[in-house]
Structure 1
């Protein structure tokens, strides 16, 4: 990860004598109530406002040229901590927040991996500690932060209007994942099978390409489809190695059902989702890089939900006999996808300053020690 000194947003705050508010070292304060509290930063110094400013500056410069441009404005929040600035920190009243439904036995039929993770009293996010009133207070701030982001996206769209770019620009809005926001009695992310994490908005506006407005598609799509869709919209050939596919057929025929399933993964958990079923399989040894004594390595297992009968995903039917054939078919689909797309995992044995291959530094290990531990714990070696 880049240091604070290399972070452009931090540099911006430092020049404005506001950098003191960037330091959230006090973990007790930061996670006082699941990472939710009003921000001390005024709105005009928030990360969202700064990003909108930078994006608008880029758009204004682009409007002065005839060159095509691509702009990726990535808002890192509403990832926690949920810390909206005024007036958004008070936009939603906790007493008006409607909590999602829960089930008393929800976690009893989940794999050990998540029963263990979310019900460990040593964890900061110990969810049995989350009372309804605490959750409402946290969600009120979460919703406020979403509205804060929405206001800055509005500034970017206004800039497109003001610069005259709106009629010649394709706009895409999406997210990498969602948040449970109280579903299943939890917040944050991490359970890969549940829809609260993977069903995210995808909005496309392209009047310059003849794309009509108001089309709603409820078919299965994936974020890897965004790039080939953009390529087709602007008349470029999609490279053959691209795994996604253009969504123009779904856009032109919203009822077209050409895709049987989508796939996603989180660490060692591989998931397949059809229109009716979603199933995850847990590969062994996910925590080998952190638990060298292997005392807490999680067992394999899986989750399977019948979304027609159980849309809230409360009842895991992975081991129920009547779903055996469904499970076998989904497993076959998952294995086919896995074989077609999986890449060999590589670990660095030389020091790295940044990136995922530098993780051995977190454990105080030499590269040789890290390599030895990795090989020892690898489930397939």
Structure 2
């Protein structure tokens, strides 16, 4: 009788509380969940967790106290790990994204410039997890299917079984459901010029793109929470145009952005690969656009909080890997430029924070150079999943799972330019840039974080300059960098 009573209580408990039991099931089976929150053109200095890693002058390049609070993204870093030296494989959208999902340099994926579709043969981390029984979903900007714009739900899914809310290109400011429950652009869309006409001041938490995508993310998580899931949400902000819904559009209107120190550097003292003699040079900061950039970051952070709250409320926090990262940075006035495309820190360095309470100790700081090619093998390593064969990237999962509070490693890796006018090697302190347009540039990020001094011909740096150059040319050749197929000055081949 006692056994029958105990069995009845057990059955009743399962019927009353099925979601919590099932939510923990993947942990019992040893399959962690994965959420990748991915932004576009995100300056790492706008995040509190990165400002905490910097000296005051580097944390506040636009003036003391000019900051946006990001408690939710900071929470991921504080409860997990922060990488101080994570870079785009190539600091523009398509190449960096191709590397992130595949573990290969852009040329290997065919997507070495913007709007070039990724080749069919590419295997992504999502495809590996899909075959391992995961529910795989992608929401937001993709930019790996060629020139389609907006290009909702591309036919080629690359392992993301649910790509209903994926769109190929565009930085749309409003999304909504059509009569069939599928996503469409809010406002008016002109297919001839591929532009959306929308008054962002009239958008709300229901249809502003960042909020809309996170709302749909929560719906997908609710649907899949009782099985192992892999979800990537790619928010198209804080990329230009710098517009954001109320109240974020005026939230930082009281701030005055001072010129970064490097905005005052004479153009003739800058390297040619920096685009100092090109178009779109900046001599003054547009205060309203800078303020709204901060507003976009704040909106993103608030929405990250919604995702973290969902995990807490559903008992999924400990066994879910949460990654917050971006495809590339935004110079935001440094070195006379906005946007991206060169090897300076604000352009090429990306935020990368990761939380996984079951395996990664809180408060870990990693000072080791990675690029987006390292993401796929590392995340699969953390998940004890099969690896993609013949990837260029490094499985750095043990850096995250080690008991060391701080990882310091002078590994040298390299990044490339989408227009083949420079290549660069880098580690956790030095950066060497080779270009046919200028003499070699060696940057010492410890001695000169403003990156406006060339140490290449300094006798004290001869050993490191030689080492960085030899390793750069070795890796660029190994990974078939396009720069070797272009006839240029002899300098690049030395």
Give the whole-Å Cα distance in 1 for the aligned partners of 2:192 and 2:457: 44
Counterpart selection for 2:248 from 85, 88, 91: 88
- Determine the structure 1 residue equivalent to 2:187: 20
How far did 1:329 drift?
A: 2.3
- Count of matched residue positions in the alignment of Structure 1 and Structure 2: 315
Counterpart selection for 1:307 from 432, 445, 453: 445
- Determine the structure 2 residue equivalent to 1:111: 271
Give the whole-Å Cα distance in 2 for the aligned partners of 1:273 and 1:222: 10
C-alpha deviations, 1:307-351, integer Å up to 9, x for none? 232111112344566655543322101011112222679xxxxxx
CA contact (8 A) 2:429 2:445 kept: yes
Give the whole-Å Cα distance in 2 for the aligned partners of 1:110 and 1:24: 40
- Determine the structure 1 residue equivalent to 2:120: none
Q: Find out whether 1:216 has 2:344 as its counterpart.
A: no
- Structure 1 unpaired stretches of 5+: 31-36, 285-298, 346-374
CA contact (8 A) 1:48 1:152 kept: yes
- Determine the structure 1 residue equivalent to 2:375: 226
Give the whole-Å Cα distance in 1 for the aligned partners of 2:190 and 2:308: 31
Counterpart selection for 1:162 from 302, 309, 313: 313
How far did 1:162 drift?
A: 3.1
Q: Find out whether 1:52 has 2:219 as its counterpart.
A: no
C-alpha deviations, 1:117-142, integer Å up to 9, x for none? 54x4xxxx3423xx24x2x3221110
2:447 counterpart SS class: coil
Greater relative contact order structure (CA < 8 Å, 6+ sep): 2
How far did 1:258 drift?
A: 4.1
- Determine the structure 2 residue equivalent to 1:370: none
| TM-score, reference length from structure 1 | 0.71
- Determine the structure 1 residue equivalent to 2:348: 198
Q: Find out whether 1:151 has 2:302 as its counterpart.
A: yes
- Structure 2 unpaired stretches of 5+: 1-146, 154-164, 489-494
Residues 256 and 147 of structure 1: CA distance in aligned 2, closer, same or farther (over 3 Å): closer
More helix by share: 1
CA contact (8 A) 1:265 1:271 kept: yes
Counterpart selection for 2:470 from 332, 336, 346: 332
Q: CA RMSD in A?
A: 3.5
Counterpart selection for 2:385 from 213, 236, 240: 236
CA contact (8 A) 1:42 1:86 kept: yes
Residues 117 and 274 of structure 1: CA distance in aligned 2, closer, same or farther (over 3 Å): same
1:87 counterpart SS class: coil
2:220 counterpart SS class: helix
C-alpha deviations, 1:255-300, integer Å up to 9, x for none? 4444422321222121111233211112x5xxxxxxxxxxxxxx35
- Determine the structure 1 residue equivalent to 2:434: 281
More strand by share: 2
Give the whole-Å Cα distance in 2 for the aligned partners of 1:255 and 1:18: 45
How far did 1:22 drift?
A: 5.6
Give the whole-Å Cα distance in 2 for the aligned partners of 1:87 and 1:248: 42
| TM-score, reference length from structure 2 | 0.56
- Determine the structure 2 residue equivalent to 1:248: 398
- Determine the structure 2 residue equivalent to 1:79: 239
Give the whole-Å Cα distance in 2 for the aligned partners of 1:320 and 1:257: 25
- Determine the structure 2 residue equivalent to 1:296: none
Give the whole-Å Cα distance in 1 for the aligned partners of 2:312 and 2:257: 35
Give the whole-Å Cα distance in 1 for the aligned partners of 2:152 and 2:377: 33
Q: Which 10-residue stretch deviates more, 139-148 or 262-271? A: 262-271
